[in-house]
A and B are shown apart, each in its own frame.
Chain A
Amino acid sequence: MDIKALVIILMSSVLVDNYVLSRFLGICPFLGVSKKVDQSVGMGLSVIFVMLMATAVTWPIQTYVLDNLGLGYTQTIVFILVIAALVQFTEIFLKKNIPALHKSLGVYLPLITTNCAVLGVTINNMTDGYNFVESMVSSLGCGLGFLLAMVLFSGVRSRIDESDIPASFKGLPVTLIAASFVSMAFFGFAGIVENLLA
């Protein structure tokens, strides 16, 4: 296994093609749960966890079951059901066996069922033709990128809360504009993969 290729996949999914800030996946939780730093860390960790699990399950399903049977077109339905079931099982499992973890992550789990970033990453892994290890690394990278964006943005948001904003910009509009600046900052990473690693 080529380690360098994996590092490139990881770096580009964390920094360059950040799921939230440049591909616009998972915007809803990004805007909804980024008010406090601890909340955004909890949400980010849950997303990483679910993304990894979802990829670990959907990759074999697509490769060994759907493609073999010529059922590739049912991808969307199968993936979303797998993700929804997975999230439910995880929640039940955590509640029963690791109550401490359930207390910190459990609240965010139902929110993730229909998080487009999770479905998006599983489908993208298939479209990009990654093998199993590459898919897992790319999911990890997307999850880390999500966590990074959430935590950075929650810092920005706490500053906004203290500012005096025109009435019609209060709430979501100013948040979106702030997100736009954070997204601009991520442009700085654009050449990192080509110039640093390749």
Chain B
Amino acid sequence: MKKENTMSVLLKGLLRENPVFVLILGTCPTLATTTTVTGAFGMGLATLAVLVCSNIVISALRKFIPDTVRIPCYIVVIAGFVTVVQMLIQAFIPDLYETLGVYLALITVNCIILGRAEMFAGKNPIGRSALDGIGMGLGFTLALLAMATVREVLGAGTFAGMEIPFLVDHKIELMAKAPGGLMVYGILIAVVNKITKGKVIKKKEFSCAGCPAAAECAGGCAEAVKEEQ
């Protein structure tokens, strides 16, 4: 594997390998928690925290975890950190806990975290894995904020709860509901495709990328296909 320099490990998550718009990971929280900017920001930071911690621990343990049981091991580490974050938020920011609801627990099965464990932290030293976690987490947060800004401004006429004159009287409520989420997401991916056309990382660098279910199964589907043959 070719060695990337430290800066690009950190920065690639922001745009070039943005987990939401380019790698298409973590679609469920992206759609579900972006009705308000505050909720999206909270979700982004919670995911960032879990991602950095789990990347560090998984990277530290990468030489001790047997290859065959690595996915269950990763899941236990991730679920542990999710529980910690969940309890912290419940204790200190109960409003956010209410808003995010079940999606907070579902960070456990967020494709981004398992995906980064599988693609990066399982193969790289601790420092770089932490940087990768920060970069990917920030990329995720920024993407959520972008989605939420569009949806909240158009759907409710507010930004992070502050009313925007004119728009607040002409809101398109559909945007804040389920169909609006899917539509805004589709359009934003198309925009990113347009901007980064030809410059985006080659998809085949990732084992299963291109398949939206890739990181959720973390190679499980590839193994299943292999067994089939």
Say yes or no: A180 contacts B213, CB within 8 Å: no
Say yes or no: A183 contacts B217, CB within 8 Å: no
Say yes or no: B75 contacts A114, CB within 8 Å: yes
Say yes or no: A124 contacts B102, CB within 8 Å: yes
For residue A97, which residues in chain B have a CB less than 8 angstroms away from its CB? none
Q: Does any Cβ of B come within 8 Å of A141's Cβ?
A: no
Q: Does any Cβ of A come within 8 Å of B181's Cβ?
A: yes
**What 0/1 pattern do residues 26 to 63 of A give for CB contact below 8 A with B?**
11110111000000000000000000000000000000
For residue A166, which residues in chain B have a CB less than 8 angstroms away from its CB? 190
Q: Does any Cβ of B come within 8 Å of A107's Cβ?
A: yes
Say yes or no: A74 contacts B178, CB within 8 Å: no
Instruction: Give, as a whole number of angstroms, the nearest-CB distance from A102 to chain B.
Output: 10
Say yes or no: B83 contacts A28, CB within 8 Å: no
A7 to B12, CA, bound (A): 50
Say yes or no: B105 contacts A180, CB within 8 Å: no
A176 to B182, CA, bound (A): 5
For residue A110, which residues in chain B have a CB less than 8 angstroms away from its CB? 217, 220-221, 223-224
Say yes or no: A176 contacts B185, CB within 8 Å: yes
Q: Known: A24-B31, A115-B216. Contact between A174 and B186, CB under 8 A?
A: yes
For residue B99, which residues in chain A have a CB less than 8 angstroms away from its CB? none
Which of B38-46, B106-114, B129-137, B156-164 faces chain A? B106-114
A127 to B90, CA, bound (A): 15
Q: How large is the interface on B (under 10, 10 to 19, 20 to 34, 35 or more residues)?
A: 35 or more
Say yes or no: B106 contacts A73, CB within 8 Å: no
For residue A23, which residues in chain B have a CB less than 8 angstroms away from its CB? 32
Q: Does any Cβ of A come within 8 Å of B1's Cβ?
A: no
Say yes or no: B186 contacts A24, CB within 8 Å: no
- Chain A CB within 10 Å, residue with most, of B178, B191, B218: B178
Q: Does any Cβ of B come within 8 Å of A113's Cβ?
A: yes
Q: Which of B173-229 contact A (CB under 8 A)?
A: 174, 177-183, 185-187, 189-191, 193-194, 197, 211-213, 216-218, 220-221, 223-225, 228
Q: Does any Cβ of B come within 8 Å of A175's Cβ?
A: yes
Of chain A, the residue at the smallest CB distance from B188 is A173
Say yes or no: A173 contacts B190, CB within 8 Å: yes
Say yes or no: B179 contacts A184, CB within 8 Å: yes
Q: Does any Cβ of B come within 8 Å of A169's Cβ?
A: yes
Say yes or no: B83 contacts A74, CB within 8 Å: yes
Contacts A80-B79, A110-B220 given; 14 further ones with Cβ under 8 A? Answer: A21-B178, A31-B27, A32-B211, A32-B213, A81-B79, A107-B224, A110-B217, A110-B221, A114-B111, A119-B106, A123-B105, A124-B102, A184-B174, A187-B179
| A–B pairs, 19, beta carbons within 8 Å | A21-B178, A28-B27, A28-B213, A28-B216, A29-B213, A31-B213, A77-B83, A81-B72, A113-B220, A114-B114, A114-B217, A116-B109, A123-B105, A167-B197, A169-B186, A173-B190, A177-B186, A181-B179, A183-B178
